[in-house]
Structure 1
């Protein structure tokens, strides 16, 4: 019943907003509807007895079964001074990343509204549930170079809830935003939280072939525990056929009732080569160091380092319909990957294939 009421409210709000905008400018329709569906099959060569992959991954995390990673429908409104999105979703991505949320929140992919604050400058105030300002990879698989998400993406927020004040300059090459958030990938503030968290995003794109991004987060992660995280990445269109993505993340966390500061960092490189307009190859190398057990502290045994690589092939069937396949290998210094019925190993090899459609 809650989902039905939410959908009814979404459509009523969107329709009334569209009519008001059309009265102002009959040539522009700011209201649109769309969605995304991605189904996949992933084969784990360790042949675990269960279908759940390692706790390192939250997307495409089911093995040896056909599954839906993300099925999402969304209404968007993009007017001259008002904008907003409402998206509802289901799938293994939602089950894993929204596990801590309650009730209808488990199925809200996005729900936000934005107001333009200046007639002469591109300054916006947005509030609600939004895609994360951290990292180059999103939940929409066909927008990413690799089929599966990197360890860096899996262990940083995909979504966030809060308020954002942003500015884009007239030329469009600089973007800056400051954010007040309900914590690290959370919709509701935990009862143990002492206050809001904060962040920034700074993007510089001097031309269509080069982009630099700096994003940060600082906030409480439980009683007397403070987390700082910085994400930097660079995207380069090296050639009309070659795209490069380089990333470096660093985090620190002050533990509760302890003078010790935990540190972790990760780096990665992704490469895409367009064979033609329809066929692409991609490759990824990544390294994650959590020597102080800040991010992997809930795993048993505790890994300190994870290294991985993947090779992929993509075919564009239609402009927004992609078939993708990938072989991925991960190696850890801890036996964290399930093998057979009751055994664990320090390595995992998976073959994943998916079909994704944006409509």
Structure 2
């Protein structure tokens, strides 16, 4: 390497020579510093003594969606945060991550772009809108079963994440779209046994990196997971906090239950139910309530092919989470069919047809509003 750098910048005399020598030293230093990063891309870097693993990874989800309502803004309903652009090819999520894992400490850093980031983090400061994850953790016991993690991390709520290839369907359920994808704060997690996991969180708010303006009250959360084996798992997650400034603070209490079931070698079932309540006004004993059930069945009918069917309902009559411009509250039922083809080991091709219907005109149709919506979305997702 030294010879290669020397060939690029041969020795000279005088002031120019001193400048060239300085450039050579800086370039050589940069190349030496870059070696571990280059070596980490696409493979693990392992220190045998410390048993430390550093890994780089990436994910890209490109999609095209067509909404038969043809909304004038080319944007699907504002309660959808993934694959929401109409009649254009876009990247839903372009993600680069670095992971560090060791017996007693760990760290994650992820940066992202795409229409998901643009829409879901629009309320965050501009410098934070591309942060997917930025957290570090330390084991608090010798068995590394008790961990404290701090920073920006994926939410403990729900069975669907922002990475579409990890989910049973291409688009996210209404429950997932309208509950936190990420949280910022501290998480204490405990693997009590192979079957039971527990967690407690203190966070900056309801899907917020920076707390809501004027809010000094942190949110808290809990999680209990029971895993019988690879075929059966149950989860209960909670959030208690507020999304208001102190002057008109309303308490929000939220529960998420879900189960995943491997019914047969080919059939997987997912069932979830969310229920939330929020004070109607500061200090009030009255609460507005919203809830949403979702059921998904996924069937592998060939080695590389899956079919998924989803039924869901979202009821928010007082507009706590979803507040239509009509002021009539929000109540929507949804049905979808999904077909997946795993073309290669790291590539997933998906197609989904999704219908949403409501008793009220809350879905955009051209320049007006409608009671139903039909959309078809195709995606190619790649991991690297």
Q: Tell me if both proteins adopt one fold, taking TM over 0.5 as the criterion.
A: yes
Asked whether the 8 Å contact 2:324–2:330 carries over to 1, the reply is: no
Match of 2:180 among 157, 172, 176: 157
- State the Cα distance separating 1:82 from its structure 2 match: 0.8
Q: Which moved more, 1:294-303 or 1:104-113?
A: 294-303
Paired residues in the alignment total 343
Match of 1:80 among 68, 85, 103: 103
* Structure 1 counterpart of 2:362: 336
* Structure 2 counterpart of 1:204: 226
- Name structure 2 gaps, 5 residues minimum: 1-29
Match of 1:115 among 121, 138, 148: 138
Structure-to-structure mapping, 1:49-60, within 5 angstroms: 49-60=72-83
Q: 2: CA distance between counterparts of 1:57 and 1:303? A: 16
CA RMSD of the aligned region, Å? Answer: 2.0
Matched, 1:327 2:353: yes
Match of 2:189 among 166, 177, 185: 166
* Structure 2 counterpart of 1:268: 294
Match of 1:314 among 331, 340, 347: 340
Structure-to-structure mapping, 1:210-229, within 5 angstroms: 210-222=232-244, 223-229=248-254
TM-score, normalised with respect to structure 1 = 0.91
Asked whether the 8 Å contact 1:224–1:255 carries over to 2, the reply is: no
1:75-132 Cα shifts (integer Å, max 9, x gaps): 0001111101000000010011100111220100100000001003510000000000
TM-score, normalised with respect to structure 2 = 0.85
Asked whether the 8 Å contact 2:110–2:134 carries over to 1, the reply is: yes
Q: 2: CA distance between counterparts of 1:236 and 1:98? A: 32
* Structure 2 counterpart of 1:288: 314
3-state secondary structure, aligned to 1:188: coil
- State the Cα distance separating 1:298 from its structure 2 match: 5.3
Asked whether the 8 Å contact 1:303–1:336 carries over to 2, the reply is: no
- Name structure 1 gaps, 5 residues minimum: 1-7
- State the Cα distance separating 1:21 from its structure 2 match: 7.5
Match of 1:254 among 270, 275, 279: 279
Q: 2: CA distance between counterparts of 1:106 and 1:304? A: 28
Q: 2: CA distance between counterparts of 1:47 and 1:103? A: 30
Q: 1:161 to 1:298 in 2, by over 3 A?
A: farther
- State the Cα distance separating 1:259 from its structure 2 match: 4.5
Q: 2: CA distance between counterparts of 1:113 and 1:299? A: 41
- State the Cα distance separating 1:221 from its structure 2 match: 2.0
Q: 2: CA distance between counterparts of 1:197 and 1:275? A: 44
1:116-163 Cα shifts (integer Å, max 9, x gaps): 010035100000000000000000001111110010001100000010
Q: 1:211 to 1:141 in 2, by over 3 A?
A: same
Q: 1:190 to 1:60 in 2, by over 3 A?
A: same
Q: Which has the larger radius of gyration?
A: 2
* Structure 2 counterpart of 1:187: 209
